[in-house]
C-alpha cells in the first residue's frame, strides 16, 4: 500500500476535478479571456506609492456640505465592498459628475436609504479610478444602515460600452490592495456587494458585481478576483500607505 499511495492521490484528485467540472457552472472561458489581457510576468515589486500610481486615482470629490455629502458622516474603515455600475452608457467621469450634481437620488425612508442619495467612494474604468468621497466618510451604496455602508469603502466598476472589463478589474484589484494596506483591511474583509443583505427587499442579496458572480453569488470567479487583489498586495514592499481621506 505504501507504494500505491503516491499513485492513488493523483488519480483521486483528477477524478474530483472531472466531477467538479461537470457539476459547477464556473465559466472558465470568461476568466481565461481576462487573464489573456494581463502580462503578469512583467509585474515587479512596488512601494505602496507606486501601486497607488498604477491604480491612477484622480480626486474629484463631491463638495462637502452638498448633495450626498450634505451631512458629515465619519466612518471607521473595516471592509472594502466591490460593485459594478450596471450602467451601460455612463463612464467614470459621468458618474463623478452625477454624484457632484446630486443626480443620483434615492428614496429616503426609515430602514432604507438614509440621505436621499446614492454615494460611494471610487468609480473605476479601464484607464482611471475616480474618488468621490473621502475614505473615512460613509457612503450609501450597499445595505442601508448595515455594516456595508457603515464600515466599508465602496468601489464601483464601470460597464459602459467600449470599456475594457479586464483592465477595469485589474485596476480595481490594485486599488483594493492599496486600500487594504492604507486602512489595515484584511483580504477576508474584501466583499462583493452580494455579501451585504438589504433588509426588507425581496432579493436582499444583490447579484453584484454580476460579472464576478457565479449563478448570482460569490463562487470561483469571485475567488479568482480575490487572487488578483492578493497578487498585487503581495507585490507591495513593506511600508506605510497614505490614507486617501
Ligand atoms: Zn452593488
CA gap 117, 226 in Å, rounded: 29
Cα–ligand 1 centroid distance for 79 (angstroms)? 14
What's the domain count of the chain? 1
Residue carrying the nine cell digits 492578493 = 230
pTM, two decimal places: 0.90
Considering the domain boundaries, does residue 6 fall inside one?
no
CA gap 236, 41 in Å, rounded: 16
109: cell is 425612508
Cα–ligand 1 centroid distance for 154 (angstroms)? 9
Query: What is the residue-level pLDDT of the chain in tens, covering all 245 positions?
Result: 344 444 444 444 444 444 444 555 677 899 999 999 999 999 999 999 999 999 999 999 999 999 999 999 999 999 999 999 999 999 999 999 999 999 999 999 999 999 999 999 999 999 999 999 999 999 999 999 999 999 999 999 999 999 999 999 999 999 999 999 999 999 999 999 999 999 999 999 999 999 999 999 999 999 999 999 999 999 999 999 999 98
CA gap 177, 55 in Å, rounded: 10
**Cis peptide, bond prior to residue 242, ω within 30 of zero:** no
Cα–ligand 1 centroid distance for 24 (angstroms)? 24
Cα–ligand 1 centroid distance for 142 (angstroms)? 6
Considering the domain boundaries, does residue 194 fall inside one?
yes
Considering the domain boundaries, does residue 96 fall inside one?
yes
The CATH number of residue 150's host domain is 3.40.80.10
Supply the range of the domain harboring residue 151: 28-235
Cα–ligand 1 centroid distance for 20 (angstroms)? 29
148: cell is 456595508
CB atoms within 10 A of CB 107: 7
Cα–ligand 1 centroid distance for 13 (angstroms)? 36
89: cell is 452608457
Cα–ligand 1 centroid distance for 174 (angstroms)? 19
CA gap 139, 119 in Å, rounded: 5
Distant-in-sequence, close-in-space partners of 215: CB < 8 Å, separation ≥ 6 = 25
Cα–ligand 1 centroid distance for 65 (angstroms)? 25
Amino acid at each position: 500500500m505504501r507504494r500505491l499511495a503516491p499513485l492513488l492521490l493523483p488519480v483521486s484528485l483528477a477524478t474530483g476535478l472531472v466531477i467538479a467540472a461537470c457539476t459547477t457552472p464556473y465559466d472558465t472561458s470568461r476568466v481565461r479571456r481576462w487573464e489573456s489581457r494581463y502580462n503578469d510576468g512583467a509585474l515587479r515589486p512596488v512601494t505602496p506609492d507606486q501601486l497607488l500610481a498604477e491604480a491612477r486615482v484622480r480626486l474629484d470629490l463631491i463638495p462637502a456640505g452638498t448633495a450626498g455629502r450634505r451631512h458629515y458622516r465619519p466612518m471607521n474603515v473595516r471592509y472594502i465592498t466591490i460593485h459594478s455600475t450596471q450602467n451601460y452608457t455612463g463612464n467614470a467621469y459621468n458618474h463623478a459628475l452625477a454624484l457632484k450634481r446630486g443626480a443620483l437620488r434615492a428614496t429616503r425612508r426609515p430602514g432604507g436609504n438614509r440621505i436621499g442619495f446614492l454615494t460611494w467612494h471610487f468609480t473605476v474604468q479601464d484607464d482611471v479610478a475616480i474618488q468621490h468621497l473621502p475614505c473615512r466618510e460613509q457612503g450609501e451604496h450597499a445595505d442601508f444602515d448595515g455594516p456595508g455602508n457603515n464600515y466599508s469603502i465602496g468601489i464601483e466598476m464601470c460597464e459602459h460600452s467600449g470599456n475594457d472589463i479586464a483592465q477595469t478589474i485589474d485596476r480595481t484589484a490594485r486599488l483594493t490592495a492599496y486600500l487594504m494596506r492604507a486602512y489595515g483591511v484584511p483580504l477576508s474583509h474584501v466583499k462583493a456587494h452580494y455579501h451585504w443583505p438589504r433588509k426588507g427587499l425581496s432579493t436582499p442579496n444583490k447579484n453584484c458585481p454580476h460579472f464576478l458572480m457565479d449563478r448570482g453569488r460569490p463562487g470561483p470567479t469571485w475567488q479568482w478576483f480575490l487572487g488578483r487583489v492578493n497578487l498585487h498586495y503581495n507585490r507591495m514592499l513593506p511600508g506605510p500607505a497614505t490614507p486617501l481621506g
